[in-house]
Homo-oligomer: A and B are copies of this chain.
Amino acid sequence: MVFLVQKYGGTSVGSTERIKQVARRVANFQAQGHALVVVVSAMSGETNRLISLAREIQAEPDARELDTILSTGEQVSIALLAMALHTLGVKAKSYTGSQAGITTDSAHNKARILKIDEKYIRADLAAGYVVIVAGFQGRDDAGNITTLGRGGSDTTAVALAAALKADECQIYTDVDGIYTTDPRVVANARRLKTITFEEMLEMASLGSKVLQIRSVEFAGKYQVKLRVLSSFEEHGEGTLITFEENKQMEQPIISGIAFNRDESKITIVGVPDHPGIAYQILGPVADANIDVDMIIQNVGHDGTTDFSFTVNRNEYSKTMSILKEQILPHIGARDVIGGNQIAKVSVIGVGMRSYAGVASNMFRVLAEEGINIQMIATSEIKISVVVDEKYMELAVRILHKAFDLDQEK
């Protein structure tokens, strides 16, 4: 017997017909003697429908009330999947995040899981039930409904796998694994059989959108065996995320090209160049629960410097207001400028640690196509550049080719 936590995303449960397919798949696993906890997302489109409804009432919906609304999407899915399993003669029981004992902090719309009281689920598993848990949601200590933010269902699955010590956490999605880049942008992108945890982290955070970044962090922290598979294929093996450093010798230099269109850039011009200034700028932004992605500060001159960072495009105007109202008046900077017609493109690979020249190669390829680089940030296993949004797809394609990612190695 293997104990699996499986997660099915919004597309996999996008219609009652698809929910029945998921039920048949789950029933097959159970028939093979496996124990199963199944995490599901809202039916595809449902979360957007609910957000639109909320915005008809309030342009920037109250965070607590929005969570109360959004959590209904998964609540419907879990019950429908339980019913579908009942029709197949499989004992199954649904749990909302709150019912599953998933306690989070109180950061509505982007809450973090603090603990899971798994005794209810354990009891049902022992009694032979397939346990179905609503992804993406929990409750705080005061009983308020919280959500984990987009993609949070992956985090729910990994957190449950960690708490319940599952043998494997399987993320079923509409793709059959992790690719060298998005096949919709580069036709001959290839599926990777394995990817290291660190590469996956970079791929996810940079918008490859297969797995939610926090779920990968979680998996790394708790050593959860994590696999991405297609919910539309019967016998795919997907991509396994590995945590063993020493297997990386066989890795190619570059694993993939990631990109993200949901970014916006903000630059504070003429910041007095003295200690503590970065905190003065980013403290209030973090307090407003806005995630900052790239942060760039170059060497200053004449006692001032320019400080740039990127945030999600949805939070661009909110961030600009905070900067203009709360920060600029206090720090004596000259101006705040920004833009949201940008995209981020990154090359990723654990292998690049031991190879020089990846960055210069990347910049050369972009220059040859006349693509201007607006910002650069690097880490040991990735190099990211911000470019004009309209060049994004071109940049991804030429980099995928330049690093031979279309060749099986």
Chain A interface (Cβ < 8 Å from any Cβ of B): 16, 19-20, 50, 53-54, 56-58, 61-62, 64-66, 68-69, 71-72, 75-76, 78-80, 82-84, 86-87, 93-94, 96, 98-99, 120, 143-145
Whole-angstrom CA separation of A93 from B80 in the bound complex: 29
Tell whether, in the assembled complex, residue B78 and residue A94 are in contact, meaning their CB atoms are under 8 Å apart.
Answer: no
Tell whether, in the assembled complex, residue A83 and residue B96 are in contact, meaning their CB atoms are under 8 Å apart.
Answer: no
Nearest CB of chain B from residue A404's CB, rounded to whole Å: 47
Nearest CB of chain B from residue A298's CB, rounded to whole Å: 42
Whole-angstrom CA separation of A99 from B143 in the bound complex: 7
Q: In the complex, which of the residues A50, A80, A86 has the most CB atoms of chain B within 10 Å of its own CB atom?
A: A80
Tell whether, in the assembled complex, residue A58 and residue B87 are in contact, meaning their CB atoms are under 8 Å apart.
Answer: yes
Q: Which residues of chain B come closer than 8 Å to A56, judged between CB atoms?
A: 16
Tell whether, in the assembled complex, residue A83 and residue B61 are in contact, meaning their CB atoms are under 8 Å apart.
Answer: yes
Contact among B53, B69, B80 for A69, CB-based, below 8 A: B80
Chain A interface main SS type = helix
Q: Which residues of chain B come closer than 8 Å to A76, judged between CB atoms?
A: 50, 53, 69, 72
Nearest CB of chain B from residue A23's CB, rounded to whole Å: 8
Whole-angstrom CA separation of A285 from B211 in the bound complex: 50
Tell whether, in the assembled complex, residue A87 and residue B53 are in contact, meaning their CB atoms are under 8 Å apart.
Answer: no
Tell whether, in the assembled complex, residue A83 and residue B99 are in contact, meaning their CB atoms are under 8 Å apart.
Answer: no
Q: Which residues of chain B come closer than 8 Å to A87, judged between CB atoms?
A: 57-58
Q: Which residues of chain B come closer than 8 Å to A20, judged between CB atoms?
A: 57
Q: Which residues of chain B come closer than 8 Å to A54, judged between CB atoms?
A: 79-80, 83
Contact among B61, B64, B75, B82 for A72, CB-based, below 8 A: B75
Nearest CB of chain B from residue A244's CB, rounded to whole Å: 41
Whole-angstrom CA separation of A82 from B87 in the bound complex: 38
Tell whether, in the assembled complex, residue B16 and residue A53 are in contact, meaning their CB atoms are under 8 Å apart.
Answer: yes
Whole-angstrom CA separation of A321 from B86 in the bound complex: 21
A-B contact pairs, 21 of them (CB 8 A): A16-B57, A19-B57, A20-B57, A53-B76, A53-B80, A54-B79, A54-B80, A57-B83, A58-B87, A61-B83, A62-B82, A65-B80, A65-B86, A66-B79, A68-B78, A68-B82, A69-B76, A71-B75, A72-B75, A99-B144, A120-B143
Tell whether, in the assembled complex, residue B83 and residue A62 are in contact, meaning their CB atoms are under 8 Å apart.
Answer: yes
Nearest CB of chain B from residue A211's CB, rounded to whole Å: 27
Q: Which residues of chain B come closer than 8 Å to A145, judged between CB atoms?
A: 96, 99
Nearest CB of chain B from residue A40's CB, rounded to whole Å: 12
Tell whether, in the assembled complex, residue A86 and residue B69 are in contact, meaning their CB atoms are under 8 Å apart.
Answer: no
Tell whether, in the assembled complex, residue B75 and residue A58 are in contact, meaning their CB atoms are under 8 Å apart.
Answer: no
* Residue ID in chain B nearest A66 by CB atoms: B79
Tell whether, in the assembled complex, residue B58 and residue A86 are in contact, meaning their CB atoms are under 8 Å apart.
Answer: yes
Whole-angstrom CA separation of A19 from B61 in the bound complex: 15
Whole-angstrom CA separation of A99 from B67 in the bound complex: 14
Q: Which residues of chain B come closer than 8 Å to A16, judged between CB atoms?
A: 53, 56-57
